[in-house]
Amino acid sequence: MGGWLKTPPGQVLLAWEQERIDEAVFDIFGYHALQMGLPSLDGLRANRMLHRWLASESLVNPEPIEIAPPRDLGISTQPLNVPVGLHCCAEALPFASSSLDLVVMPHTLEMAADPHLALAEATRCLVPEGRLVIVGFNPVSLWAMRQRLGRTGHSLRMADETLFLPSAGEFIGYWRLRDWLRLLSFDIEVGQFGCYRPPWSSQKWLDRFEWMERVGERWWPVLGAVYFLVAVKRVRGMHLIGRVKRDRVKTSASPAVATINRRR
């Protein structure tokens, strides 16, 4: 997927995703944050947590991709330290249960061998009230439609580089993912679509249709090429642990019974 991100549509998508993630993670506080997958996108650059990790199945560092800073957000994108790199897969994270405050998964579920297990593993590692940020391709969009037409039109003769979107992975629908999260006791905090312009491969035509980004959310909101989710892990039946002040029950003194022994 790293090579596709260098194409004009890849740059458009990467800039939109980076801006959404910067806005979401900026005010999430805690101690431990993890980004799982897609090292080309710096999902934790705007976050202030002290301990941050970047996990990937490959130890090879990707070539840097220029990403513009977010516009008019007032967010500093200079991290406190560089995230520590980890070599692991999304289905088996090397973290204890309830140890992470934030997990960012940019296209991680699509590339995972078992997306159900990857989502369950992220849930296990999150603390109660922890945040899960997910970005994925929308299978109901013009971009995905062009991808399907390309596959069926050229069948086995189709080369991977001629596809519009990355050939690896399986796209997961937005509403389908929301159902998965609800089953895992997540509450959806943010849900948004983006990248509404037609699937052009030319930067010139992508720029001409930039106006569609401003009106797409209003007129055809579910047809964006990519979706963005922020979910909160809820643990039902939780109670705060602390000192409980209890009022002592005052018992009233019962009257004494006097026995009179009358002798005749």
Rounded Cα distance between 251 and 193, Å, is 64
**Residue range 230-244: average pLDDT?**
74
Q: Give the tokens for residue 32.
A: 């431990």
**Residue range 27-54: average pLDDT?**
91
* Owning domain of residue 9: 4-233
In DSSP terms, 33 is beta-bridged to 52, 102
The answer as to whether 209 is a domain residue is: yes
Which tens digit of pLDDT belongs to each residue from 182-206? Answer: 999 999 999 999 888 887 878 888 8
The answer as to whether 140 is a domain residue is: yes
**Residue range 237-257: average pLDDT?**
56
pLDDT of the residue at 164: 66
In DSSP terms, 156 is beta-bridged to none
The CATH number for 40's domain is 3.40.50.150
pLDDT of the residue at 243: 61
The answer as to whether 168 is a domain residue is: yes
- Whether the per-residue pLDDT at 65 is higher than 50: the answer is no
**Residue range 227-246: average pLDDT?**
75
Q: What is the 3-state secondary structure (H, E, C) of the chain?
A: CCCHHHCHHHHHHHHHHHHHHHHHHCCCCCCEEEEECCCCCCCCCCCCCCEEEEEECCCCCCCCCCCCCCCCCCCCCCCCCCCEEEECECCECCCCCCCEEEEEEECHHHHCCCHHHHHHHHHHHEEEEEEEEEEEECCCCHHHHHHHHHHHHHHHHCCHHHCCCCCCCCCCCHHHHHHHHHHCCEEEEEEEEECCCCCCCCHHHHHHCCCHHHHHHHHCHHHCCEEEEEEEECCCCCCCCCCCCCCCCCCCCCCCCCCCCCCC
- Backbone φ and ψ for 105, nearest 5 degrees, come out as -125, 85
Of 17-31, 58-72, 183-197, where does mean pLDDT reach its minimum? 58-72
Rounded Cα distance between 129 and 135, Å, is 20
pLDDT of the residue at 155: 46
The answer as to whether 192 is a domain residue is: yes
In DSSP terms, 233 is beta-bridged to 186
Rounded Cα distance between 203 and 212, Å, is 15
The answer as to whether 144 is a domain residue is: yes
pLDDT of the residue at 160: 47
The answer as to whether 26 is a domain residue is: yes
Overall domain count for the chain = 1
The answer as to whether 258 is a domain residue is: no
The answer as to whether 243 is a domain residue is: no
- Whether the per-residue pLDDT at 161 is higher than 60: the answer is no
pLDDT of the residue at 226: 92
Q: What is the pTM of this model?
A: 0.77
Q: Among 115, 105, 141, which Cα is nearest to 229's?
A: 105
- Whether the per-residue pLDDT at 147 is higher than 80: the answer is no
Average of per-residue pLDDT values in the chain:
79
